Amino acid sequence: MKILVCIKQVPDAKDVRLDPKTNTMSREGVQSIMNPFDAHALEEAVQLKEKFGGSVTVISMGPPQAEETLLQAVACGADEAVLVSDRAFAGADTWATTYTLSMAIKTLGGFDLIICGKQAIDGDTAQVGPGLAQRLDIPYVTYVRKVNNVIDGKIIVERMMDDGYDEVEFQMPGLLTVVKEINEPRIASLKGKMKAKKMKATVLTASDIKADLKCLGLQGSTTQVVRVFSPEFKAERSMLTGTVDEQVGKLIEKLEGLL
Amino acid sequence: MIVDYFLSEEQQMIVEVARQITDEKIIPQRVELDEKEEFPSEILKAVAQADLFGLYIPEEYGGFGGGCFDMVIALEQFSRGCVGVATSFAASALGAYPILIAGSDELKEKYLPQIASGEKLAAFGLTEANAGSDASGIQTTAVLDGDEWVLNGTKQWITNGGEAGIYTVIAITDRSKGPRGASMFVIEATDPGFSYGAKEKKLGIRTSSTRELIFKDCRIPANRLVGRLGTGFFTVMKTLDLSRPGIASLGLGLGQAALDESVIYAKQRIQFGKPIISFQAVQHMLADMAIQLESSRALVYATARYIDSKPKDMSKVSSMCKVAATDMAMKVSIDAVQVLAGYGYMRDYPVEKMMRDAKILQIYEGTNQIQRNVIGQALNKEYSRS
Ligand SMILES: Cc1cc2nc3c(=O)[nH]c(=O)nc-3n(C[C@H](O)[C@H](O)[C@H](O)COP(=O)(O)OP(=O)(O)OC[C@H]3O[C@@H](n4cnc5c(N)ncnc54)[C@H](O)[C@@H]3O)c2cc1C
C-alpha cells in the first residue's frame, strides 16, 4: 500500500503572540513544529505500513525551512519526503493550497491512501483534507478515530461523531483526515534520526508540477482578508428576579423583543 | 551548566531519544508504577520502538553497534526519570553480555536480534540464597544427559525474572574443578522445568521485577552452553566489568535529578522571609551535591570511553566508577530529602523515591565493599610488579 501523508509546519501554539497593532501573528522567535494532528496522521500511516506493508511518503507545501519538519517525519518512520516549495505559492488560502497539493500529488502519482490531520492548529479551517480529495476526485472520510481493516483494496474506518461513530468502508484510492484519538505518535527512533540526518527532501516547484500560475498563491486564493481584529466582548448581563413563573414571563418578553 | 563532553552527532541523537522517552513516558508514569509495583512494559515498548535496546549490539545482529559509553549516556537519561525503569533496561543488557562476550555464532544469531529489537528482554542469573558476594558458593547444577543439559537449583533476586524471554544462567558443571567447574547457559522462558518464585517486595526500584528462577530438571539442548565448558565464572567477571559503568550511570542520572529538584525547590521555598537557597548552610549542601555529581560524571565518562578502547584489564576502573557514582547518588539523594525536608519526606515530591531507589545501586552487581576489594587487590598487584 502506498500511503501519502500531508504535513504542515506550524508555529508552536505555546509561543504564539499577536502583534497588538496589526493583529497578525508575530512569528519572530517562535518555534516551528509539525502540526499536531498531522503527527497522528503520520503515526497511522506508519502503523498501516508496518501491518500491511508498503511505503509512506510525506508531503508539505511550504517555505524551504519546512524541510526540517518533513525530515522529522522521516525520523518517525516515513520513507520519502517531498517539499512543494516556490515563491509563487506564497499567500495561498485553502483553495490555492489544495490546487497546489493536488497538482503535486498528480505529478508523484499512484497513492492508494492519503492521510491528513483533521485540521491545522494555525488556520483551523479543516478544509484542506476534504478539498484535496475533491480536487483528486477520490472518496474521503473526515474525523477518523480508527482504521479497522484493509482488505482487497478496501479500507474500513470509524468516523467520530458527537453521538457515537460511523463505520465507513470505501474502495481505495481515498483520503482520510484523522483525530487525536486515533493513536499515540511514537518518539523518533535512533535509526530513523540517522536516516533523516542523511536525507534531503525532494523539492517540487511550480513548473515541476505543471501548475497554472493564475491558480497559485495569493493570486489563486478566493479568500480575501479585509480586516483582522479581535472580537470585542460586549455581552450584557442582567438578573431576572421574582417567582419562577414571573422570571419565565420576563424572559419570554425579552426574547420576543429581540425578534 | 554541566561540563561539555563533546559528544559526537550520533551520541547527541542517543541522548535526545533517551531524554524524550524519559520526559514524555517515564517521568509522567513513575509514581504510579512505583506505587502499584507494576512492570513498565509500555515504556519498554517505546524504548524498543526507538531502537535503544540494540544500542550495544553489533549491527550484524540488528543493533546499533554502540559501546559502553553509548549505554552510559542513555542509562543516565532513563535514571533521571526512574532507576526502576532504567534497571529493567540495564538488566536486559546484563543478560545479553554473556552471549555477546562468549557465545557461539549460533547463539548470537539466534538471541541477539531478539534482544536488539526489544522483542524479548534478557536477564542474568548468578545470585543464589547462599551465594551473594561469594559467587563461588552457587549450588545450581547442570548435568549433561545425552544431548541435553539438565539444570537443578534456584537463582535468587533476578531482575526481569518472569518478564524476560532469555536468561543467561551460571551453574556448576563439575564441582571438583573449583573455579573452573561452572558454566554459563542460555535458558528460554518456555523451557520445560523452568519456573519463577513470587515477586519480591522491595524498598525501591519497585517497578522492576525481582524474582527467583527455579530449575527442576530443566532440560535444554546441548548447544545452549555459552562459551567453553568451565568458563562460567570468567564470563561472569567480564560481563560485570562491562556492565558496572552502566550501574554507575544510573547513579549519575539519579544524582542529577536529585540536584535539579533540590535547587528548584530551594529557590522557591521561603522561610524567615527569604528563599532557603540564600542560607549558606543550604547553599553549601547544594554546592557539595553538584561537586560530587560532576566529579563522578567525569570518572564514569572517562572509564566508559577507556573501556570502549578495549583495554586488556578494566576491572579496577570499572569498579572505581561504580563506587564513586553510586555512593554519590546515595549521598546526594539523602541530602535532597534534607533540602526539601518535610515536603521531601512526603510521597508528593519525587526525592523520597530517589532516596529509596539509590540504595540498590550500592548493592547489586557487586556491593561497594566488594568493588573496593577488587580495587585494593588490583592496586596491590600493580605495585608489586615494579
Ligand atoms: C533488587 C535486586 C536485584 C538484583 N538483581 C540481580 C540479578 O539480576 N542477577 C543476579 O545474579 N543478582 C542480582 N541481585 C543480587 C545482588 O547482586 C546481590 O544482592 C549482591 O551481589 C550482594 O549479595 P548479598 O545480598 O547476598 O550480600 P552478602 O554477600 O551476604 O553481603 C552482606 C554484606 O557483607 C559484605 N561482604 C560480603 N563479603 C565481603 C567481603 N569479602 N569483603 C567485604 N565485605 C563483604 C557485603 O558488602 C555486604 O555489606 C539483585 C539484588 C537485588 C537486591
Residues A165-185: tens digit of each pLDDT: 999 999 999 999 999 999 999
Quickly tell me which residue has 515530591 as its cell: B349
Rounded Cα gap, residues A71 and A54, in angstroms: 19
pLDDT in tens, B207-265: 999 999 999 999 999 999 999 999 999 999 999 999 999 999 999 999 999 999 999 99
Rounded to 10 degrees, the C-alpha dihedral B109/B112/B115/B120 comes to: 40
DSSP A104-164: HHHHH---SEEEEES--TTT----HHHHHHHHHT--EEEEEEEEEEEETTEEEEEEEETTE
CA of A101 to the centre of ligand 1 (A): 64
Residues from chain B contacting residue A192 (CB–CB below 8 Å): 51
pLDDT confidence of residue B207: 98
Domain B123-230 fold: Butyryl-CoA Dehydrogenase, subunit A; domain 2 (2.40.110)
* % of residues, chain B, pLDDT over 90: 99
A96 Cα to the center of ligand 1, angstroms? 70
Do β-strands A55-61 and A2-6 pair in parallel, antiparallel, or remain unpaired?
Answer: parallel
| Ligand 1, CB within 6 Å, residue ranges | B 91, 124-127, 132-133, 157-159, 202, 210, 360, 363-367, 369-370, 373
pLDDT average, residue stretch A122-131: 90
Residue with cell 564514569: B300
Ligand 1 atom nearest to B368, measured from its CA: 47
Q: Which of B157, B169, B373 to mutate to test the pocket of ligand 1 (most atoms within 8 A of CB)?
A: B157
Q: Which three cell numbers stand for residue A15?
A: 509561543
Instruction: Tell whether the model's pLDDT for residue A28 goes beyond 80.
Output: no
Contact B17 A194 (CB under 8 A): no
Mean pLDDT value of segment B275-304? 98
Which atom of ligand 1 is least distant from the CA of B367?
Answer: 47
Q: Where along chain B do the CATH 1.20.140.10 domains lie? A: 233-381
CA distance A11 to A122: 7
Tell me whether strands B148-159 and B141-145 are parallel, antiparallel or unpaired: antiparallel
Mean pLDDT for A39-66 is 96
Burial A90-125, CB ≥16 within 10 A → b, else e: eebbbbbbbbbbbbbbeebeebbbbbbbbbbbeeee
C-alpha cell at B105: 555464532
What integer is the mean pLDDT of A187-205?
A: 95
pLDDT given at position A123: 82
In terms of pLDDT, which residue wins out, A14 or B85?
A: B85
Any B CB within 8 A of A179 CB: no
**Ligand 1 atom closest to Cα of residue B91:** 8
Residue A8: closest CA among A215, A213, A155, A177:
A177
3-state helix, strand, coil in chain A (%, to 5): 35, 25, 40
Looking at chain B, the domain(s) classified CATH 2.40.110.10 span: 123-230
Selecting from B10, B24, B50 the residue whose C-beta is nearest the C-beta of A189 gives B50
Chain-centroid distance, C-alpha A41:
9
B334 Cα to the center of ligand 1, angstroms: 22
Ligand 1 centroid – CA B361 distance (Å) = 11
SS3 category, B130: coil
Lowest mean per-residue pLDDT among A9-13, B93-97, B169-173, B317-321: A9-13
Domain B233-381 sits in which CATH superfamily?
A: Butyryl-CoA Dehydrogenase, subunit A, domain 3 (1.20.140.10)
Cα angle A103-A88-A111, degrees, rounded to a multiple of 5: 20
B50/A194 touch (CB, cutoff 8 Å), yes or no: no
Q: Spell out the long-range contacts of B297-302 with Cβ–Cβ below 8 A and sequence spacing 24 or more.
A: B297/B2, B297/B3, B297/B252, B297/B325, B298/B3, B299/B248, B299/B324, B299/B325, B300/B72, B300/B245, B300/B248, B300/B249, B300/B251, B300/B252, B300/B324, B300/B325, B301/B5, B301/B69, B301/B72
Residue of B13, B46, B49 with shortest CB distance to A193: B13
Identify the CA nearest to A176 among candidates A136, A117, A245, A238.
A117
Residue B279 is predicted with a pLDDT of 98
Residue A195 forms contact with B (CB below 8 Å): no
Determine whether the interchain pair B13/A187 forms a contact, defined as Cβ–Cβ distance below 8 Å: no
CA distances from B183 to A23, B169, B175, B232 (A): 75, 8, 11, 4
Q: Which CATH superfamily is domain B9-120 in?
A: Acyl-CoA dehydrogenase/oxidase, N-terminal domain (1.10.540.10)
- Residues of B tagged active-site: 365
- This model of the complex carries an ipTM of 0.84
3-state secondary structure A134-150: HHHCCCEEEEEEEEEEE
Query: Angle at which helices B232-268 and B83-102 pack, to 10 degrees?
Result: 160
Top pLDDT among B307 and A237 is at: B307
Interval A124-151 mean pLDDT: 95
Is some CB atom of chain A closer than 8 A to the CB atom of B10?
yes
> What pLDDT shows up at residue A230?
78
Report the distance separating Cα B374 and Cα B317, nearest Å. Answer: 10
Mean confidence (pLDDT) of chain B:
97
A210 touches chain B (CB under 8 A): no
Q: Exposed, middle or buried: residue A32 (CB in 10 Å: 0-12, 13-18, 19+)? A: middle
Tell the residue nearest (CA) to atom 27 of ligand 1. Answer: B132
Q: What confidence score (pLDDT) does residue A249 get? A: 93
CATH 1.10.540.10 location in chain B: 9-120
Q: Are A9 and A36 in contact (CB under 8 A)?
A: no
Identity of the residue in B9, B10, B51 whose CB atom sits nearest the CB atom of A189: B51
CA distance A100 to A213: 10
Residue for cell digits 483494496?
A153
Q: Would an 8 Å CB–CB cutoff place A226 in contact with chain B?
A: no
pTM assigned to the model: 0.89
CB B361 within 8 A of CB B83: yes
pLDDT of amino acid B386: 64
Mutation to probe ligand 1, out of B37, B133, B369 (largest number of atoms < 8 A from CB): B133
Here the contacts of A247-256 (C-beta below 8 Å, separation 24 or greater) are none
**Best mutation site among B124, B208, B233, B364 for ligand 1 pocket (most ligand atoms within 8 Å of CB):** B364
CATH architecture of A2-229: 3-Layer(aba) Sandwich (3.40)
Instruction: Describe the crossing of helices B368-385 and B315-345 by its angle, rounded to 10 degrees.
Output: 150
Ligand 1 centroid vs B151 CA: distance in angstroms? 23
Nearest C-alpha neighbor of B224 from the set B150, B174, B297, B137: B150
State residue A232's pLDDT score: 81
Least Cα distance to B167 among B114, B246, B207, B206 occurs for B114
Q: Give every CB contact of residue B110 below 8 A, 6+ residues apart in sequence.
A: none
Is residue B1 very low, low, confident or very high in pLDDT (cuts 50, 70, 90)?
Answer: low
Farthest-apart Cα atoms in chain B, separation: 79
Average pLDDT over residues B258-284: 98
Which of B52, B56, B47, B15 has the alpha carbon at shortest distance from B243? B56
Question: B71 and chain A: CB distance < 8 Å anywhere?
Answer: no
| Local structure of A22: helix, strand or coil | coil
* Spatial contact of B324 and B299, defined as CB atoms under 8 Å apart: yes
Q: Mean pLDDT throughout B359-378?
A: 97
pLDDT at B342 over 60: yes
pLDDT value at position A212? Answer: 92
* Residue of B9, B10, B13, B117 to mutate for A, most A C-beta atoms under 10 A: B13
Q: Which of A74, A187, A194, A197 to mutate to test the interface with B (most CBs of B within 10 A)?
A: A187
CB-CB contact of B87 with B95 (8 Å):
no
Per-residue confidence (pLDDT) for residue A229, from 0 to 100:
81
Residues A202, A203, A207, CA angle at the centre, nearest 5°?
A: 135
From CA B118, how far away is CA A155, in angstroms rounded? 31
